[in-house]
């Protein structure tokens, strides 16, 4: 029996409509979470944002998720933020994954399967230096003390070759390394092949590679475990799908990620056997840390 003076059917419809609206609002709110996406600063900020902002916009279109690109002024700042678990997603060097394992346990999703991360030692094209032994007591630029391919792998190569007396200069980005070498501010520099190939043609042609380091699996896009599995899978599938279109591939090539493939932590276990820990220097704490 209905309540006197009311339309019980109308009341039921109102209740059901209200419940549906509440559920829809809850789901919409969940979908509108904005995920932070950190990117290791191999390039200066303007270039990094020009590469990654279009990629994230395409990911948003394909996944229905929202992302906020988070830049870091220096690689050590990125490293601290990554190890502290500040990013929901991150494009990171594999050694950062290794460092964060057991603390944040980031989950690798996607990497470039077409190549290995190849550390290189470069000198100016007309330089007299031909081999590592020629760099004894010389000044060598690195992007940062803990950059994986450009610093840790290169310094390990120096050690294996008996090169121990040199003056390191840390210049923040890969691009800055090549500019320091080209302008004669340093005698040589540590970089990686992919970032050298991303430089302007004139700068590339002014460089000469005198040594390569052991190859390492490439940088992954990784997710923090707090990101729901379903959202991780959306991102993973979106990267794979992007590579199948001309426009999507053009965006990924700039990272560079020429052939996205699924990946997981097993791929990066090889890093533990490379002995990079002896060359790693823990960054100073951020201002305000205790």
Determine the pLDDT at residue 31. 55
Residue 226, in any domain of the structure: yes
Burial class for 123, CB neighbours closer than 10 Å (0-12, 13-18, 19+)? buried
**Are 177 and 202 in a shared domain?**
yes
Contacts of 279 (CB under 8 A, 6+ apart): 151, 152, 155, 156, 159
CA distance 208 to 223: 37
Query: Could you give the number of structural domains in the chain?
Result: 2
Q: What is the pTM of this model?
A: 0.79
**Are 228 and 110 in a shared domain?**
yes
Angle separating helix axes 45-63 and 229-242, nearest 10 degrees: 110
**Are 235 and 203 in a shared domain?**
no
| Residue closest to 182 by CA, chosen among 155, 150, 205, 210 | 205
Q: Assign 286 a pLDDT band (cuts: 50, 70, 90).
A: low
Determine the pLDDT at residue 103. 82
Q: Which run of H or of E encompasses 212? A: strand 207-212
Residue 2, in any domain of the structure: no
Residue 11, in any domain of the structure: no
**Are 84 and 223 in a shared domain?**
yes
**Are 181 and 49 in a shared domain?**
no
Determine the pLDDT at residue 88. 99
Q: Which of 197, 212, 227 is the last residue of a domain?
A: 212
Q: Which domain holds residue 261?
A: 34-115+218-278
Q: Kindly report, residue by residue over 214-267, the tens digit of the pLDDT.
A: 999 999 999 999 999 999 999 999 999 999 999 999 999 999 999 999 999 999
**Are 245 and 186 in a shared domain?**
no
Residue 261, in any domain of the structure: yes
């Amino acid at each position: 029996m209905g309540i006197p003076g009311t339309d019980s059917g109308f009341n039921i419809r109102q209740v059901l409509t209200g419940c549906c609206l509440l559920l829809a609002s809850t789901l919409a709110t969940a979908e509108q979470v904005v995920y932070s996406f950190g990117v290791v600063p191999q390039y200066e900020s303007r270039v990094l944002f020009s590469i990654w902002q279009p990629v994230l916009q395409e990911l948003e279109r394909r996944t229905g998720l929202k992302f906020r690109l988070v830049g870091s002024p220096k690689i050590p700042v990125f490293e601290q933020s990554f190890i502290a678990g500040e990013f929901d997603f991150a494009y990171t060097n594999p050694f950062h994954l290794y460092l964060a394992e057991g603390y944040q346990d980031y989950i690798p999703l996607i990497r470039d399967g077409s190549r290995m991360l190849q550390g290189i030692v470069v000198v100016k094209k007309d330089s007299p230096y031909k081999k590592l032994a020629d760099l004894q007591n010389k000044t060598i630029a690195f992007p940062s003390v803990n950059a994986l391919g450009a610093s840790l792998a290169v310094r390990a190569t120096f050690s294996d070759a008996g090169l121990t007396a040199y003056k390191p200069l840390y210049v923040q980005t890969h691009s800055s390394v090549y500019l320091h070498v080209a302008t004669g501010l340093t005698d040589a520099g540590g970089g990686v092949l992919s970032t050298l190939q991303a430089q302007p043609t004139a700068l590339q042609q002014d460089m000469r590679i005198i040594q390569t380091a052991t190859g390492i699996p490439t940088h992954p896009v990784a997710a923090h475990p707090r990101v729901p599995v379903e959202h991780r899978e959306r991102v993973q599938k979106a990267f794979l799908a992007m590579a199948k279109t001309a426009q999507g591939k053009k965006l990924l090539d700039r990272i560079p990620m020429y052939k996205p493939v699924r990946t997981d932590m097993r791929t990066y276990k090889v890093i533990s056997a490379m002995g990079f820990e002896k060359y790693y220097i823990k960054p100073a704490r951020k201002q305000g840390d205790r």
